[in-house]
């Protein structure tokens, strides 16, 4: 059931517990409780008799959350991560008890008690907790952070151990802030929230500086590198924005922003480059013996029909008409004639 309590300073605390919920209703109740704290999630729990408690305290725009319960698997998919009605957030978590595995941005992190890790609610994430656990979290809206996507993307699903300098600094801070959140007066929790944002920024900067000695790449340079990669990988029919973002260690959202600045989508750019390559190939003497379908296949088109439709839409003629129109007529002299 849910209990709401208001403490001094007007801080609102919500507690969700399955203790008094009928066993057959607990699975749905637990999903709703977690969605209230972290945004829409899909969960798997072993039985309908699942037990757990979620305590959420609002600290201005920041939320302090403690979750404890039996083992479960939590997932935010592409669909749920793109919900327009939800606030986009970064979640900073401390695993207080149990073990976990988190997956995001192509990384898998094995989390031990005392470890700190981060995930972004705007992108798909999976969190597996195979046995009883307790996690303390700070939910930070993107609008409060002042960080770039690429900064947060570098640290998602990466555990920070309690014996590291950053982990040792953040662990007691998160514990104190989450445990005592309801007791803070407004001027204190606002300051603590700002400190949490600053510490997350420090975490991101420190991690990036440790993993790369280079300064952050300028957007235009990164865009050119991505475009060059696309040209090299056109033959791969599985080439996709998600794959490109993963290879370049940037978020999918940031990749789309790079191309939006050029007035084109990533998928449209890939299609355009494939069509241009096919148009050249259709005229190349080494490709003369290949069928149009074979030429299209070599440039990553899975369907000859899709290629033909796309080619006609782009150039106003079919691929066969284009190839024929560029061939010398029987009456036209060949190379070296007339001299």
Reference 91, options 178, 6, 205; nearest CA is 178
Reference 103, options 253, 246, 262; nearest CA is 246
Average of pLDDT values for 320-328?
81
The answer, as to whether pTM is greater than 0.75, is no
Cβ neighbors of 60 (< 8 A, separation 6 or more) are: 186, 189, 190, 193
Q: Is the pLDDT of residue 248 over 80?
A: yes
Rg, Å, the chain Cα set: 27
Question: What's the rounded Cα separation, in Å, for the pair 154 and 203?
Answer: 10
Average of pLDDT values for 112-134?
91
Reduced to 3 states (helix: H, G, I; strand: E, B; else coil), residue 108 is: strand
Query: For the residues of 209-262, what is the DSSP string, one character each?
Result: HHH-SSPPPPHHHHHHHHHHHHHHTTT-TT--HHHHHHHTT--HHHHHHHHHTT
pLDDT value of position 29: 92
Q: Alpha helices of 19-85 — where are they, by DSSP H?
A: 26-38, 78-81
Q: Is the pLDDT of residue 228 over 70?
A: yes
Most confident of 4-18, 126-140, 196-210, 324-338: 126-140
pLDDT value of position 171: 84
Q: Are 325 and 317 in contact (CB under 8 A)?
A: yes
pLDDT digits (tens, 9 = 90+) for 159-186: 888 887 777 777 888 888 888 877 777 6
* Confidence category of residue 335, pLDDT binned at 50, 70, 90: very low
pLDDT digits (tens, 9 = 90+) for 68-102: 999 999 888 765 554 555 678 889 899 999 999 99
């Amino acid at each position: 059931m849910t209990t709401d309590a208001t403490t001094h300073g007007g801080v609102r605390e919500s507690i969700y517990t399955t203790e008094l919920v009928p066993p057959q209703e607990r699975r749905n109740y637990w999903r709703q409780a977690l969605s209230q704290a972290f945004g829409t999630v899909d969960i798997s729990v072993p039985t309908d008799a699942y037990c757990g408690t979620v305590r959420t305290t609002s600290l201005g725009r920041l939320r302090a959350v403690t979750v404890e319960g039996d083992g479960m698997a939590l997932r935010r998919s592409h669909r749920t991560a793109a919900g327009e009605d939800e606030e986009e957030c970064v979640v900073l978590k401390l695993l207080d008890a149990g073990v976990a595995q988190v997956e995001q941005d192509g990384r898998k992190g094995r989390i031990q008690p005392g470890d700190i890790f981060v995930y972004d609610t705007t992108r798909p994430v999976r969190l597996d907790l195979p046995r009883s656990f307790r996690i303390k979290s700070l939910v930070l809206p993107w609008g409060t952070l002042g960080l770039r996507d690429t900064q947060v993307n570098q640290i998602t699903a990466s555990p920070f151990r309690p014996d590291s300098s950053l982990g040792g600094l953040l662990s007691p801070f998160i514990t104190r802030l989450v445990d005592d959140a309801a007791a803070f007066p407004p001027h204190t929790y606002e300051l603590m929230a700002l400190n949490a944002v600053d510490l997350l920024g420090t975490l991101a900067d420190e991690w990036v500086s440790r993993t790369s000695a280079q300064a952050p790449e300028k957007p235009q340079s990164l865009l050119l590198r991505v475009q060059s990669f696309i040209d090299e990988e056109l033959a791969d029919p599985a080439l996709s924005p998600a794959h490109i973002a993963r290879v370049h260690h940037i978020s999918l959202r940031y990749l789309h922003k790079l191309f939006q600045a050029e007035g084109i989508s990533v998928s449209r750019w890939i299609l355009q480059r494939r069509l241009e390559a096919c148009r050249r190939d259709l005229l190349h003497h080494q490709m003369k013996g290949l069928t149009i379908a074979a030429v299209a296949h070599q440039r990553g088109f899975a369907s000859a029909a899709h290629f033909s439709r796309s080619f006609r839409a782009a150039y106003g003629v079919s691929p066969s008409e284009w190839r024929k129109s560029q061939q010398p007529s029987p009456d036209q002299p060949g190379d070296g004639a007339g001299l």
